[in-house]
């Protein structure tokens, strides 16, 4: 007999309860309100806001975007008004928020992260914090944190000490062993991990003989990086017990399912919003339909179900000789 109850798509990330397992990726959804004319924000889980830093930043020189096969490169450079102005002018508009608002913190020193995290998390309008320790588009230090397990531990511990709100740590794929970084973030007190940030890349103008981005290098996003992201989630899921927000090139419900099955408890949608802002609604509808078809009552039932570890020696033996 097939039951036709509406499946439970809600997800718990630390203390943060989301009605839907869909987050909108930081830097892709602005201040959260730019998409309000096109999307019912009450039908998404959370908006991860654009990263804010201690000091204001003008951002990178142009061009900041290049379209690439099945994706795009960006190098925005954390343009933002700085935490003081942000708290005074921007945060209040989230008082009547239709979905959860996750503040994103970026910085250049451990003290920066703690300073901004403490002030942002203190605001009632902000439901959780994401630590962006993996922005590939700012000079050196930005991504250094997520590329070094010991530095990751330090910065997470410092931010953890400032708030009890859910702390999501966004990891970089531009590392040799993402699981090692993930373990340190968990041990230092992260409530959840965002896996992954963009993949470093570049494009060159062959007529002008120069890089096409003003910043020279950028972060690659879109379908082009999806298999990289699926593997990263799979590896991290084997290394930690805290929930994972899977992200990287998710465009369809099938893409989203790959991430849940790899071990993500929630997903984040970024670049696909640039193609069609109705993508999150479609994915939520598709997840519901998928769970009903398989007679499952909640999204949690599929998390990590394809995660069988890695092929061992015995599994290879059949191919020997």
Partner 1 sequence: MPLLESTARVHATTVVDRRELAAGIIVLGFDAPELVAATRPGQYLMAIPPGGEVCATALGIYEAQGTRASILFFVTGKRTRALAELRPGDALTVMGPLGVGFDLSGGVRDVAIVAGGVGIASVLLPAQALLRAGARVQLYYGARNAALLVDAERFVTEGCELLAATDDGSRGHHGYVHEALARAPHAPDLILACGPTPMLRAVAKVAAERRVPAQLSLEETFACGVGGCWGCVVPIAATSAQAPSFPPAALGGSDVVNARVCTEGPVFWAHDLRW
Determine the Cα angle at 137 with ends 118 and 57, to 5°: 55
**Position 71 contacts partner 1 (CB under 8 A):** yes
Residue 94: CB atoms within 10 A of its CB come to 22
Give the x-and-dash track for 88-127 against partner 1 (CB under 8 A): -x---x----x-----------------------------
**Position 220 contacts partner 1 (CB under 8 A):** no
Structural contact between residues 138 and 85, judged by C-beta atoms closer than 8 angstroms = no
Structural contact between residues 24 and 271, judged by C-beta atoms closer than 8 angstroms = no
The residue range among 60-68, 232-240, 289-297, 309-317 that interacts with partner 1, by the rule CB under 8 A, is 60-68
| Interface with partner 1 (CB under 8 A), residue from 79, 217, 292, 307 | 79
Q: How many CA atoms lie within 13 A of 185 on its CB side?
A: 34
| Interface with partner 1 (CB under 8 A), residue from 5, 34, 227, 289 | 34
86 three-state secondary structure: helix
How would DSSP label each residue in 147-193?
A: G-HHHHHHHHHHHHTT-SSEEEEEEPSSSS-HHHHHHHHHHTT-SEE
**Position 56 contacts partner 1 (CB under 8 A):** yes
DSSP 8-state secondary structure symbol assigned to residue 312:
-
The residue range among 25-33, 145-153, 283-291, 294-302 that interacts with partner 1, by the rule CB under 8 A, is 25-33
Q: Which residues pair with 48 in a beta bridge?
A: 102
The residue range among 8-16, 82-90, 158-166, 238-246 that interacts with partner 1, by the rule CB under 8 A, is 82-90
Distance CA 103, CA 48 (A): 6
| Interface with partner 1 (CB under 8 A), residue from 20, 23, 44, 74 | 74
Task: Tell the smallest beta-carbon distance from residue 192 to partner 1 (Å).
Answer: 23
**Position 14 contacts partner 1 (CB under 8 A):** no
Between 265 and 273, CB nearer to partner 1: 273
Nearest CA-CA partner of 188 in 173, 170, 169, 171: 169
Please identify which of the residues 28, 99, 117, 135 carries the catalytic annotation: 135
- In the complex, the residues that contact partner 1 under the rule CB under 8 A are 27-30, 32-38, 41, 50, 55-59, 62-67, 70-72, 74, 76, 79, 81-82, 84-85, 89, 93, 98, 222-223, 271, 273-278
Catalytic residues: 135
């Amino acid at each position: 007999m097939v039951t036709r109850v509406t499946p439970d798509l809600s997800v718990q990330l630390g203390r943060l309860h989301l009605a839907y397992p869909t987050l909108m990726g930081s830097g892709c959804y602005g201040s959260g309100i730019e998409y309000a004319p096109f999307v019912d924000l009450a039908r998404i889980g959370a908006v991860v806001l654009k990263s804010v830093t201690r000091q204001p930043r003008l951002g990178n020189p142009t061009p900041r975007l290049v379209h690439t096969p099945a994706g795009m490169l960006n190098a925005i450079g954390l343009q933002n008004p700085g935490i003081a102005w942000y708290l005074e002018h921007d945060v209040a508009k989230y008082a009547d928020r239709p979905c959860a608002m996750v503040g994103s913190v970026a910085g250049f020193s451990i003290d920066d992260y703690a300073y901004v995290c403490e002030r942002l998390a203190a605001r009632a309008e902000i439901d959780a914090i994401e630590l962006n320790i993996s922005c590939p588009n700012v000079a050196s230090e930005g991504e250094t944190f997520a590329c070094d397990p010991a530095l990751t531990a330090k910065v997470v511990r410092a931010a953890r000490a400032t708030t009890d709100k859910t702390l999501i740590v966004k990891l970089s794929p531009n590392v040799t062993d993402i699981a090692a970084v993930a373990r340190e973030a968990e041990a230092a007190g992260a409530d959840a991990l965002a896996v992954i940030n963009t993949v470093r890349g570049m494009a060159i103008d062959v007529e002008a003989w120069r890089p096409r981005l003003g910043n020279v290098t950028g972060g690659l996003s879109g379908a082009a990086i999806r298999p990289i992201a699926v593997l990263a989630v799979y590896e991290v899921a084997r290394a930690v017990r805290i929930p994972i927000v899977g992200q990287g090139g998710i465009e369809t419900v099938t893409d989203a399912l790959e991430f849940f099955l790899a071990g993500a408890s929630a997903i984040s949608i970024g670049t696909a919003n640039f193609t069609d802002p109705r993508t999150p609604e479609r994915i939520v509808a598709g997840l519901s339909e998928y769970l009903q078809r398989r007679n499952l009552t909640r999204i949690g039932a599929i998390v990590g179900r394809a995660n069988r570890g890695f092929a061992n020696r015995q599994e290879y033996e059949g191919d020997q000789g």
